[in-house]
Amino acid sequence: MKKTIQSALISVFNKEGLDPIIHLLGNAGVTFISTGGTQQYIESLGYSVTAVESLTGYPAIFGGRVKTLHPAVFGGILYRRGNENDFQEASRHNIRPVDLVIVDLYPFEETLAAGADEQSIIEKIDIGGISLIRAAAKNYNHVTVVSSRNQYAYLLEVLQQTGCAPGLQHRKHLAALAFDVTSHYDTAIFNWLNSTEQVPSFKKSIQGGRTLRYGENPHQWGRFYGPLDEIFEQLSGKELSYNNLVDVDAACGLLAEFSAETAFVIIKHTNACGVAIGSSVKEAYLKALQADPVSAFGGILATNKPVDVAAAAELNKLFFEILIAPAYSPEALQMLAAKKNRILLIQKKSLKVTAQFKSLLNGVLEQQADNHTETEADLKTVTHRTPDAEEVQAMLFAARIAKHSKSNTIVLAANGQMLASGVGQTSRVDALKQAIEKARVFGLSLKGAVMASDAFFPFADCVQIAHQAGITAVIQPGGSVRDQESIDFCNTHHMAMVFTGYRHFRH
């Protein structure tokens, strides 16, 4: 059922895009109710405004903190037009109906993000505006509510189509948007306060989402929530799928470990099947590809340096789903975009993840993100032989990869190149055997290579197998009650081993 708008209460922080709405309503004879800056704005467009203060009989008080919180205002929004008792009460108290409420809340999140002081942040907690939105949304059977400047265009379209008489479907849709706005706003305030108070309550709100073709499998629906375009610009290819996004996240997370070097990573099902650093993108890619050219087929590729035509020529020989880079030369882009389904992304900024959460059982698990990356300062040599400088760099390189691989994992590396890895195994021995076999299949020598493990070795069997394969140095967290057995074997066989004290399980 349509409801013709005869009166509109407008109180907005952001007025951009509101002009045509005001003109449309004003020309339709709608009565405007407002206060403060919004009142002055409407009057500047040539329309008379009933001041909120004239309805309430009170001026704005406490520095503007209290303006609209009054029965004369909220009664006009909340009273049920078809209810005789409500009608009689409204008449008795001289409460005028309000048919449209337009509110744009104080920019709390923007103020917080700008690093403002506590008092400034507190003053951007909207009270009257959010109350107006909730009241109008609750009474959507009779009232139209606009709760954000992002809805101005939609409102204008509805008003033009309906002759300023929105239908129930429009009012109900706007009410849903309103509670989305208010719940998101309150969540932001709660999380700000809870950063110090630590109330044991899980609240997250992400506005904006996209429906994916399907979920992890075709019989599952899938959606992504978040402003993905803040991180990526898609230059070509089909729409990103659920699995694409999971692998892109893994690729970007691993790539972020290499800030100074020219690095290239190849991801398959969230695990690295190739990682290398080099003097150019081309060199880094070719080194990364050597580790497992079979798994690289259909993989997700990422580099932290611009892709030039030399690199593109090599990349173009491989079938891959996605390539991520900070930039592409015009020639490289033309070459790579020739295959229409190939997804080319520009990564505009690095990921900064501080917390992680996932649904589990009948609740949610949340944890601090694993943002610790080992440096030389973390390394404690536990063997008689101290690793040389080349081994140290190789171990730190391998440890960065192991950190981003599914447990149990073993990574074998040398000279800025992942030679092989064993991932997602139920035993560490199996992970090591898998890595050694991969290196053998792809013709990569392990003589003088290093081994990284995401967790400690419960027995000495892994260092024994590694020694037989040619491994000379080992990096691991340490912490097993039988650490000494591994240390003793390394000492006997002139291997170096360092403990980091940091475990990197990934499930």
Strands 7-12 and 100-104: parallel
In whole angstroms, what is the distance from residue 270 CA to residue 407 CA? Answer: 12
- Show Cβ contacts of residue 270 under 8 Å, excluding neighbours closer than 6 positions: 246, 247, 249, 250, 406
Q: Is 171 in contact with 136 (CB distance < 8 Å)?
A: no
Q: Is 271 in contact with 423 (CB distance < 8 Å)?
A: yes
Q: Is 138 a catalytic residue?
A: yes
**Considering Cα of 113, then 118, then 119, then 122, what sign does the dihedral take?**
positive
If residue 122 lies in a helix (H) or strand (E), which one and from where to where? helix 118-123
Q: Is 475 in contact with 379 (CB distance < 8 Å)?
A: yes
Q: CA torsion, points 196, 197, 199, 205, in degrees to nearest 10? A: -40
Catalytic entry in 15, 23, 70, 138? 138
Q: Is 494 a catalytic residue?
A: no
As a three-state string, the secondary structure of 314-345 is HHCCCCEEEEEECCECHHHHHHHCCCCCCEEE
In whole angstroms, what is the distance from residue 49 CA to residue 202 CA? Answer: 43
- Show Cβ contacts of residue 457 under 8 Å, excluding neighbours closer than 6 positions: 428, 463, 476, 480, 483, 486
Give the residue among 217, 221, 219, 214 at the shortest CA–CA distance from 239: 214
- Report the amino acid identity of residue 158: V
* DSSP codes, 268-327: ETTEEEEEEEESSHHHHHHHHHHT-HHHHTTEEEEESS-B-HHHHHHHTTS-EEEEEES-
Q: Residue 497's CB: how many other CB atoms inside 10 A?
A: 26
Q: Is 360 in contact with 380 (CB distance < 8 Å)?
A: no
Catalytic entry in 23, 70, 124, 269? 269
- Show Cβ contacts of residue 377 under 8 Å, excluding neighbours closer than 6 positions: none
* DSSP codes, 51-110: EHHHHHS---BTTTTBSS-SHHHHHHHHS-TT-HHHHHHHHHTTPPP--EEEEE---HHH
C-alpha distances in angstroms, 491 versus 381, 411, 432, 467, 500? 12, 21, 20, 11, 18
Q: In Å, how far from its chain's centre is CA 179? A: 22
Give the active site residues: 138, 269
